[in-house]
Every structure is written in structure tokens, then in C-alpha cells.
Chains A and B, each alone.
Chain A
Amino acid sequence: MLLIRCPYCEEERPELEFRNAGEAHVARPADIAAISDEDFEAFFFIRSNPKGIIYERWRHIHGCARFFNAVRDTVSDKFVMTYKAGEPKPKKLPGVAK
């Protein structure tokens, strides 16, 4: 089971308190009815599914109930960091080469 740090509650809690909410930083088009089928496919169905660093959303559903973002390595499942919703995608990752 993962241990996840909620950036709002500022503590590590067991995964059971959280719900994964998919890839982060996928912006919903402002006028979704106007976009092309290609753009809708890319927004709705296509995912990066990376082997390595992933940016993903979590929700502390059985805690403060808030959404936040996390950076995790999908090979080791180790979290690099978590940050609040709305904050930009971190450019520098602590402890990660490249």
C-alpha cells in the first residue's frame, strides 16, 4: 500500500484514504462542443501512461476530500513529491536525474 502525503493536511496517510483521479495537467477545453474529433480523442481517451515519472491527480477522499497532484515513478511506485491543485507542473524534481 502506498503512503501518500496530502499537501493540504501536510502529513503522510495510507493509500486507503485516497482515490486516484488519473493523469494531471490535462486541461479541459473551454468550449468542448466546438473542438474537433481529433482534439476530443486526445483530451478524453489518449493518456501518456509513462513508464517512469508520472504527474497524476489524487483526492484525499476520506480525509480533507481535496484534489491535489503528485509526481511518482511508475517503476518503483515511489512518490517524488505532491503539490496543491492549481500549482504549475514542477520543472525541477527533487532527487530525479535529467
Chain B
Amino acid sequence: MKKYSVFAIAREAMRGHKGWEAQWRSPEPKKEYDVIIVGAGGHGLGTAYYLAKEHGITNIAVLEKGWLGGGNTGRNTTIIRSNYLYDESAGIYDHALKLWDGLSQDLNYNVMYSPRGVMMLAHNIHDVQVFKRHIHANRLNGVDNEWLTPEQAKAYCPPLNIAAHARYPVMGAALQRRGGTARHDAVAWGYARAASARGVDIIQNCEVTGIKRAANGAVTGVETSKGFIGAKKVGVVASGHSSVLMNMAGVRMPLESYPLQALVSEPVKPVVPCVVMSNTVHAYISQSDKGELVIGAGTDQYISYSQTGGLHILEHTLDAICEMFPIFTRMKMLRSWGGIVDVTPDRSPILAKTPVKGLYVNCGWGTGGFKATPGSADVFAHTIARDEPHKINAPFTLERFRTGRLIDEAAAAAVAH
């Protein structure tokens, strides 16, 4: 792998940019690997990268049915924050936030992590109480999160409407200054390039259609559209399709898959300096470096794998955006799209060993797993390499739905990203 640097740019500028190499190799699959990761989203590619980097396992294939990063990783609104309610959540989301900080240097790839602050608006007494509770819980866990008055919120994000007569009055806000955004594609590409350089085979257009097990139940490999590929360890990291894959190994999951949509506006000059979220009215907004407003909507109410959602969901979100930011009422929306998110009953992920020997699963990130990408990948690699969870992901088991030890962010996070 040739290192990216200012010198590389200068060198290539002199010779007509003829020397850039492909960012990752595209090999044909081998017959057998030590580890197979199913799903080349950020979490899967990151897992392969940390397996190679931290655990010295390099005989790895990442199998992807479409193109890498084409799942939810490339479809999300890229909000990054760690101010969840529970200790377990603080553990994993803040671990991720710490890794975001050095990720561009680590990968030698600019993932454009921008800690511009994530502001969550409180519109009613309930919101105020819940957010203040979060702020206190976060403080005990060493996670930054602070309370803003409506005036302070407006000072932090000037286009915000805080008028008392507003349809959704702003009664205050919780601000996590270390929160922000990153470039979603770059996260997938950066991990892919760095993993490939360490010997990981990334195989696109290769759909896993079956999980094979020996007589003793242990995993022996996967059936794919490119034939059988052997491995004693298989990690499923397939977001909306995780329950479909786990079913192939006979494991039924506490998951439901819903469409979640987002949209972007025409590009304009910098106007939204931070991320603004409103759980209560289902709207999330930030501005990309290209100038587009990036707006996230809510989920549809029914299970679907269609990667499209209803138009009324987007309209509902835009209604809310226009109330909160009257300045945007005449903006044009350019594109909208949907992803399929895998939602658990307690809205916390599952990152764990499974009842099947050699089968591991990292799923259930639902509407909000982009922010966790580096942390999730790091501890999942640990879980696969050592065949036991890292202490950070130890609570995120599959068994918690039997024992009752839920990590109930459902009330706390609802549809939040």
C-alpha cells in the first residue's frame, strides 16, 4: 500500500495522476480462510482490520453481496455521539468516540471526523427531564454532555427558531461537544484499504446463501454465489439481513428489519454549524462539507427489505424541519433513499458469541450504529480472535433476552441516530 501524503499528491500532480493504485485488491476467494466476515459495511471491514492489526489474524475474507459500503454504512446521516443513558452503552459508544479521534491517522485515510457538536432539542417537560437525567448519567460515566437554555442553543446554532409561539417550542437542549459527523463512504473505504493492505481478501458481489455446520454443530464454512468457502470462524455483520443469515445456522433472532430514510437538499453556503436532533418530532439535520443539508427521518412502521420507505415519512420530517428552521422552507430537496435497519427490543446491539460454535454476530445497531463503527469493530475482533467477549461488549449478549438483563435504551434513544 502506498502511503497517502502531501508528497504523494505533489508527486502524482507532476506525472498526471497516473501512479495512484487501486485502494484495495479484488481477489477471487480462496478455498478456506481462518475467519470469514459476512457483510462489508463499516463494522465488518473494521472487524477484519482490527483482527489483522491487533490480533495477527490475516487469513480473512470479507464477503459482500453487493458493493462494499453499499449497505447502511453508505446510507446513513453520519451522526456520531456517545451520550446514551446506561453504563454499558457509555462503555461501547464512548470507546468508539475515542477511536474516531485518531482514526484518520490510524488508517492513513481522511474519514473527515468532525466533532462539531450534537445538539438534542427538548420540546416538552418530558424531554427536559429525560435529557437532564442523561446529562447526569453521562457525567458519572465521564461522558461529556451539557444542558443549554434556548438562548444558548440559538447561539450555538443560529438558524434555530426558539420563538415561544413555535409549533415545537425549544425548551432547552443537550449538547455533546465531542459529537459530530464523519464521511460515511470514507469509513468503509479507509477500513477496506487498510485491511486489504494487511492481507484481508475483500470479495464483493459474493452473497452468502448458507452456513454449513459439522455433525457436532460447529461452523465449517459458508455457501456463496461463488461456491463453498471454508472457515472455522464466521462473523455475521449484516445489519438488516442479520436475522436472515442467522436463520441459515438455525438461530432465531430478536430482530425486526425496518426501512429508515434520509434525504439531502441542494447545496448551500455554510449555515448549520452543528448537528441538531429532535427525537420528539423525528428530525435530524446537519450540513455536509459539500453544503447539502443532510436530513434523517424516522422508520416506517412495517417490516421490509425493500430499501425504500413511504413518502409520508419524509414529509413528516420536513414539516418538522421547516418549523424548527423557518429559513429552510424554500429549499429544494435533491435526493432521498432508504436503508434497512435491524432493530432489537431494547434498542441496544448484539455483539456476541452465539449458541453455534464458531459463529459470532454483530447486529441490532438499528437506526444508530454508524457512530459505533470503530468501537464495535474493535471489540468484535477481540471476541472472534479470543473466542470470548471483550469486557466492553460482554453485556451485549444474545442471552439477555432470556435472562432479562436488557440494556433498555428503547425509552432513552427511541429512533435516535
> A residues bordering B, Cβ < 8 Å?
1-2, 15-16, 19-20, 22, 37-38, 40-42, 44-51, 54, 56, 72, 74-77
Query: Looking at A46, A72, A75, which has the most chain B CB atoms within 10 Å of its CB?
Result: A46
Residues from chain A with a CB closer than 8 A to the CB of B241 are 51
Q: How far is the CA of A72 from the CA of B305 in the complex (A)?
A: 12
Stretch at the interface among B52-60, B128-136, B222-230, B248-256: B248-256
Contact for B306 among A41, A49, A54, A75, CB less than 8 A: A75
Number of interface residues of B (CB under 8 A): 24
Q: Given that A1-B312, A16-B312 are known contacts, is A77 also in contact with B304, CB under 8 Å in the complex?
A: yes
Residues from chain B with a CB closer than 8 A to the CB of A56 are 302-303
Cross-chain contact A47 with B306 (CB below 8 angstroms): no
Q: Given that A1-B311, A1-B312, A49-B255 are known contacts, is A54 also in contact with B303, CB under 8 Å in the complex?
A: yes
Residues from chain A with a CB closer than 8 A to the CB of B310 are 1-2, 15
Cross-chain contact A2 with B254 (CB below 8 angstroms): no
Cross-chain contact B243 with A19 (CB below 8 angstroms): no
Contact for B253 among A1, A38, A46, CB less than 8 A: A46
Contacts A37-B404, A46-B252 supplied; 20 other A-B pairs, CB < 8 Å: A1-B310, A1-B312, A2-B302, A2-B310, A37-B402, A38-B402, A40-B402, A41-B401, A42-B252, A45-B345, A46-B254, A47-B253, A47-B256, A49-B243, A49-B244, A49-B253, A49-B255, A51-B241, A56-B302, A56-B303
Q: Given that A49-B253, A76-B306 are known contacts, is A19 also in contact with B401, CB under 8 Å in the complex?
A: no
Q: Given that A1-B310, A51-B241 are known contacts, is A20 also in contact with B305, CB under 8 Å in the complex?
A: no
Shortest Cβ-Cβ A-B pairs, 9 listed: A45-B254, A45-B401, A20-B301, A41-B402, A49-B243, A1-B310, A20-B302, A51-B305, A46-B252
Cross-chain contact A37 with B403 (CB below 8 angstroms): yes
23 A–B contacts, CB within 8 A, in A order: A1-B311, A15-B310, A20-B301, A22-B256, A37-B402, A40-B402, A41-B401, A41-B402, A44-B345, A44-B401, A45-B254, A46-B254, A47-B256, A48-B252, A49-B255, A50-B303, A51-B244, A51-B257, A56-B302, A74-B306, A77-B302, A77-B306, A77-B308
Cross-chain contact A74 with B402 (CB below 8 angstroms): no
Q: How far is the CA of A67 from the CA of B310 in the complex (A)?
A: 22
Q: How far is the CA of A20 from the CA of B345 in the complex (A)?
A: 16
Nearest Cβ on chain A to B123's Cβ, whole angstroms: 23
Q: How far is the CA of A48 from the CA of B27 in the complex (A)?
A: 35
Nearest Cβ on chain A to B258's Cβ, whole angstroms: 10
Q: How far is the CA of A35 from the CA of B402 in the complex (A)?
A: 12
Residue in A closest to B308 when the chains form the complex, CB atoms: A77
Residues from chain B with a CB closer than 8 A to the CB of A46 are 252-254, 401
Residue in B closest to A16 when the chains form the complex, CB atoms: B312
Contact for A74 among B304, B311, B401, B404, CB less than 8 A: B304
Q: How far is the CA of A76 from the CA of B306 in the complex (A)?
A: 6
Nearest Cβ on chain B to A71's Cβ, whole angstroms: 13
Nearest Cβ on chain B to A80's Cβ, whole angstroms: 14
Residues from chain B with a CB closer than 8 A to the CB of A19 are 301
Q: How far is the CA of A49 from the CA of B306 in the complex (A)?
A: 13
Cross-chain contact B402 with A49 (CB below 8 angstroms): no
Cross-chain contact A47 with B312 (CB below 8 angstroms): no
Nearest Cβ on chain B to A42's Cβ, whole angstroms: 8
Residues from chain A with a CB closer than 8 A to the CB of B312 are 1, 15-16
Residues from chain B with a CB closer than 8 A to the CB of A41 are 254, 401-402
Residue in B closest to A36 when the chains form the complex, CB atoms: B402
Q: How far is the CA of A47 from the CA of B302 in the complex (A)?
A: 13
Q: How far is the CA of A84 from the CA of B256 in the complex (A)?
A: 24
Nearest Cβ on chain B to A82's Cβ, whole angstroms: 13
Residues from chain A with a CB closer than 8 A to the CB of B302 are 2, 20, 56, 72, 77
Q: How far is the CA of A72 from the CA of B302 in the complex (A)?
A: 10
Q: How far is the CA of A22 from the CA of B306 in the complex (A)?
A: 18
